[in-house]
Amino acid sequence: MSDLILPRRDLILRAGGLVAAAGALPLLSGCDAINDAEPVRKILSLGEEMHFASQRALTDRDALAREFTRADLSPIFRSNGTRMPAGAGYAAHVARGFADWRLKVTGLVARPLSLSMADIRAMPQRTQITRHDCVEGWSAIGEWTGVPLHRVLAAAGLRDGARYIVFRCADRIGDADYYESCDRVDALHPQTILAWALNGKVLPIANGAPLRLRIERQLGYKHAKYLTAIEAVASLDRIGAGKGGYWEDRVDYEWYAGI
Amino acid sequence: MYDAAPATVPSAERVYRHRLPTRIWHWTNALTLLVLLMSGLMIFNAHPRLYWGQYGANYDHAWLAIGATETTGFLRVGSLRVETTGVLGRWTDKDGVEQTWAFPGWATIPTRYSLADARRWHLSFAWVLAIALTLYMLWSAFGGHLRKDLHVRRGEWSPRHIWQDIKDHARLRFPTGEAAARYNILQKLSYIGVIFILLPLIVATGLTMSPGFNATAPWLLDLFGGRQSARSIHFIVAWLLVAFFLVHIAMVLLAGPVNEVRSMLTGWFRLPKAKGEAE
């Protein structure tokens, strides 16, 4: 019996060993080599594409992020990323109370705009109490007031070829300006606003004064602060390194941050 | 069955215990849960604090936190604080550099800090877990696994029967012969608990952390009491699965690792003989 069993047992043990080795691979430092291999990264980024496609398929394009009440507000709304943009230019704007701040709307639009903060406040406003989710894992609830982005884009006349909206910012991190982007679905979503107030007060510098994006169905790094320009484009390829955002270009944060 | 030489091993001693879907799902899960745990620990490192409720950030009270002082690492649960220097909060990496991330490099994917890469692993393997779990639950329900193997019979619910099984496990007295061909009550309850409670719970709490999916299914936020509660439950369930894994491995080792692992590879399980039973 044993001469019949043993070869098979040997085979089984070897097969078991293989499975164990595959399981143990990440435990070794070889894990980082697997992690860094380009084909592996390509396969893993499929996960993001599947999340994006399935969320778009399952979710009504205007489905709202949860809105809360004043009783739910975080006692202190945490800021993150740039808390004070560097440079004399921004400091001068702070000194003048952002009286000369301009938001340019350019790219694939019929009527390019250059809006002052007064122009923006004169447009129809939306106030919403929403939860801000950082990619790191924490959440804070705040009340935001601003102009819905779809109003601004309607005023500028979004042209047909415009597939993405790029958000330009006044803050630099390291050697590059912060920027972000989203598709038309999120750009035209009713809760996507350019906010100038937090919790009933003028937006603090740490939270993006004078104007920041709220894009409520995505993670915090998409909510570009210190907005200077909005650009409608057909493709993200020639913007930054082509991945659609500052962190996307640098550390492979996912462009679609709904998950 | 070709190797079951009839002269010495009556075929009745070997039973076809695990069907192919069970075996495939078992080993898929083994790898998937390992990747999800290790990449999940790295994601936790980005913000090593847990909260209850809709919100929670650095200024709010964390019920669990891993952190570092000037010289030590610690784990705090509620008001209980344990020094964990060397393992949690402060540890030395493979290059001899002291690090103050919560979980050490040997426990995370990747080993060096990268939230972005950990999310790629985690959110890709989450698909594998969720799809395989869904298929396996359907197969269990309609393929007879649930009815034939996991269904708890009336007599098994009696406290006396359960207590007897607990005592047998504690004394490492495992069933032999025909009785070993079936799952005992503790096995049934733990497999049902993992397949129909813990794994669905970890998928659902994971989805509840997604701001996009919150718009798809806002009721999940109400079910779990908020995004930060969902994150806490997700973390707790992950460790319950680790606890299941440890007991599972211990039982396999005690019950006969070769026979057990072989049966999960080939499907065929050799029924153990009672002590003293003639060979």
Per-residue pLDDT of B54-95, as tens digits, reads: 999 999 999 999 999 999 999 999 999 999 999 999 999 989
pLDDT (average), residues B139-148: 92
Among A136, A207, A251, the residue to mutate for chain B (most B Cβ within 10 A): A136
- Residues A242, A249: Cα–Cα separation, whole Å: 7
How many Cβ contacts (< 8 angstroms) between chains A and B? 161
Mean pLDDT (chain B) is 92
pLDDT of residue A17: 53
Q: Beta partners for B50? A: B64
Instruction: Choose the closest CB to B110 out of A16, A35, A76.
Output: A35
pLDDT of residue B275: 62
Cβ of residue A21 closer than 8 Å to a chain B Cβ: no
Confidence of residue B180 (pLDDT cuts 50, 70, 90): confident
pLDDT (average), residues A138-144: 98
- Residues A87, A108: Cα–Cα separation, whole Å: 30
Confidence of residue A24 (pLDDT cuts 50, 70, 90): low
The answer to whether the CB of A31 falls within 8 A of the CB of B110 is: yes
pLDDT (average), residues A7-20: 53
Which positions 24-53 of A are in contact with B (Cβ < 8 Å)? 26-27, 29, 31-32, 35, 41, 43-48, 50-51
pLDDT of residue A28: 53
Handedness of CA B20, B26, B31, B33 (dihedral sign): positive
pLDDT of residue A3: 41
pLDDT of residue A19: 56
The answer to whether the CB of B228 falls within 8 A of the CB of B55 is: yes
Which positions 259-278 of B are in contact with A (Cβ < 8 Å)? 261-262, 265-266
| Contact residues, chain B, for A143 at CB < 8 Å | none
| pLDDT (tens digit per residue) in A181-230 | 999 999 999 999 999 999 999 999 999 999 999 999 999 999 999 999 99
Q: Beta partners for A104? A: A114, A229
pLDDT of residue B273: 80
Among B216, B252, B270, the residue to mutate for chain A (most A Cβ within 10 A): B216
Instruction: Give the range among A21-30, A38-47, A192-201, B9-18 with minimum mean pLDDT.
Output: A21-30
Q: Is the pLDDT of residue B124 over 70?
A: yes
Q: Is A176 helix (H, G, I), strand (E, B) or coil?
A: strand
pLDDT of residue A18: 53
With CB atoms and an 8 Å threshold, state whether B31 touches A22: yes
| pLDDT (tens digit per residue) in A62-110 | 999 999 999 999 999 999 999 999 999 999 999 999 999 999 999 999 9
With CB atoms and an 8 Å threshold, state whether B94 touches A29: yes
* Domain architecture of chain B: domains with CATH: 11-45+110-270 (1.20.950.20)
Instruction: Choose the closest CB to B123 out of A29, A251, A259.
Output: A259
Confidence of residue B53 (pLDDT cuts 50, 70, 90): very high
Confidence of residue B133 (pLDDT cuts 50, 70, 90): very high
pLDDT (average), residues A23-43: 76
- Cα-based distances in Å from B187 to B132, B149, B152, B166, B180: 21, 10, 10, 11, 12
C-alpha radius of gyration, chain B, whole number: 22
With CB atoms and an 8 Å threshold, state whether A47 touches B120: yes
Cβ of residue A59 closer than 8 Å to a chain B Cβ: yes
Among B8, B61, B120, B121, the residue to mutate for chain A (most A Cβ within 10 A): B120
Domain parsing of chain A, residue ranges: 2-56, 64-251
pLDDT of residue B111: 94
Which positions 190-229 of B are in contact with A (Cβ < 8 Å)? 209-216, 218, 221, 227-228
Cβ of residue A151 closer than 8 Å to a chain B Cβ: no
The answer to whether the CB of A180 falls within 8 A of the CB of A246 is: yes
Q: Is the pLDDT of residue A25 over 70?
A: no
Cβ of residue B253 closer than 8 Å to a chain A Cβ: no
Instruction: Choose the closest CB to A253 out of B106, B116, B258.
Output: B116
Q: Is the pLDDT of residue A23 over 60?
A: no
- Cα-based distances in Å from B81 to A30, B223, B242: 35, 30, 22
With CB atoms and an 8 Å threshold, state whether A35 touches B121: yes
Peptide bond into A85 cis (omega under 30): no
| A64-251 to CATH, choices 3.90.420.10, 2.160.10.10, 3.40.190.10, 3.40.50.2300 | 3.90.420.10
